[in-house]
Amino acid sequence: MRIVSGIQPTGNLHLGNYLGAIRNWVRMQDEMEDGQQALFFLADLHAISQPHTPADLHKGTLEMAAALVACGIDPKRSILFNQAQVPQHAELQWLLNGTARMGWLNRMTQWKDKAGKNREGQSVALFAYPVLQAADVLLYQATHVPVGEDQKQHLELARDIAQKFNNDFASEDTPVFTLPEPIVPPEAARIMSLRNGAAKMSKSDPSDMSRINLADDPDEVMKKIKKAKTDPEPLPSEAAGLKDRAEALNLVTIYAALTDRSVEDVLREHGGTGFGAFKPALGELLVETLRPISQRFTELLEDREALDAILAQGAAKAREIAVPTLDAAYRALGLVRG
């Protein structure tokens, strides 16, 4: 079993990022047995498919790497790297561009959503994005790829590309690529803004009070929770009672995610409690959970050498695994290389 997954680097990491993909990766890593392997990478090459600011991409990549380590990705157990240090991703993508069909890419819903009415104005990279994603996983003979529901279609495409390449260029008993399976984790908690229960917690919300940042200190965390928007009613004892109370639901959802319980279960215990008591309890819990994470996060960001070394070592390990597959792909295509 080899797990491979990528995440687009963004800066200003917050609680929503942690309780979403990041915590899921950490769990997968922690559940891994001997002989299994996990590669986690920052999809920085994907990030240039849309307009971007180089300085932000650079900073965001380092921040995301620091956050992953701070949240529990252990570079000794998992291979952690950024794509840009493993040129085999881009090389394999080019080889796979010969196999991927325009029609397949045209059907990708993410392409349609992101391009909108202005397809002609999009970069070639945005269109070819799923081919790079296929290269990301095929390069390592991934057997399992943890992804969100929205990425399942891209994984299907990776399988189609692998299958067609194997059919067209490899003999049946020695396929070049393994067909990867998506693993869609049980629905991650949707963490909403602390100021508006209808909007997702986001790094781009102009109000810093709307989110808990991984770098926030305990006082800030407490203050943000105490000021979080709510309503005057006490908590109900069943989830149905949170209907039309988006802000209240959000705070209970955060509490449930942090304690690994269901919303129902939290309400069974806290039903009847007012926010005057629930908020401090939630604040404490958050502070305790985030304390070690934000400490490590800040330390790593201040120690560029350590962070660079983690990514360089991860990239070296990744390249080692990647090279034989890339060589096999070149060979299968009849390309002459010295």
C-beta of 8 vs 313, nearer to ligand TRP: 8
- Rounded-to-integer distance, Cα 149 and Cα 18, Å: 17
Long-range contacts of 263-267 (CB under 8 A, 24+ apart): 263/239, 264/238, 264/239, 267/235, 267/236, 267/237, 267/238, 267/239, 267/241, 267/242
Task: Give residue number: closest CB to ligand TRP.
Answer: 6
Exposure b/e, 210-223, CB count within 10 A at least 16 = b: bbbbbbbeeebbbe
Residue 122: CB minimum distance to ligand TRP, A: 16
C-beta of 7 vs 201, nearer to ligand TRP: 7
CA 291, 6, 104, 179 dihedral sign is negative
Residue 132: CB minimum distance to ligand TRP, A: 7
Q: How far is residue 29 from each of residues 71, 86, 147, 206, 217, measured CA to CA in Å?
A: 12, 21, 14, 34, 27
C-beta of 111 vs 169, nearer to ligand TRP: 111
Annotation says 317 is catalytic: no
Cβ–Cβ < 8 Å for 243, 231: no
Q: How far is residue 282 from each of residues 61, 226, 288, 293, 295, measured CA to CA in Å?
A: 30, 9, 10, 17, 20
C-beta of 12 vs 151, nearer to ligand TRP: 151
Catalytic residue from among 59, 164, 203, 317: 203
Sort 243 into a burial class: Cβ within 10 Å, 0-12 / 13-18 / 19+.
Answer: exposed
Annotation says 203 is catalytic: yes
Residue 36: CB minimum distance to ligand TRP, A: 17
Residue 86: CB minimum distance to ligand TRP, A: 12
Catalytic residue from among 152, 200, 226, 227: 200
Q: What letter represents residue 148's amino acid? A: G
Would you tell me which residues interact with ligand TRP (CB under 6 A)?
5-8, 43, 46, 133, 136-137, 145, 147, 151
C-beta of 124 vs 240, nearer to ligand TRP: 124
Residue 326: CB minimum distance to ligand TRP, A: 16
Catalytic residue from among 59, 114, 164, 223: 114
Within 10 angstroms of residue 150's Cβ, the number of other Cβ atoms is 11
Strand-pair partners of 80? 40
**DSSP secondary structure letter of residue 148:** -
Annotation says 117 is catalytic: no
C-beta of 136 vs 205, nearer to ligand TRP: 136
C-beta of 5 vs 166, nearer to ligand TRP: 5
Residue 126: CB minimum distance to ligand TRP, A: 12
Cβ–Cβ < 8 Å for 3, 37: yes
Residue tagged 């397949």 (tokens): 104
Residue 281: CB minimum distance to ligand TRP, A: 33
Closest CA to 9 of 71, 78, 63: 63
Q: Which residues are catalytic?
A: 114, 200, 203
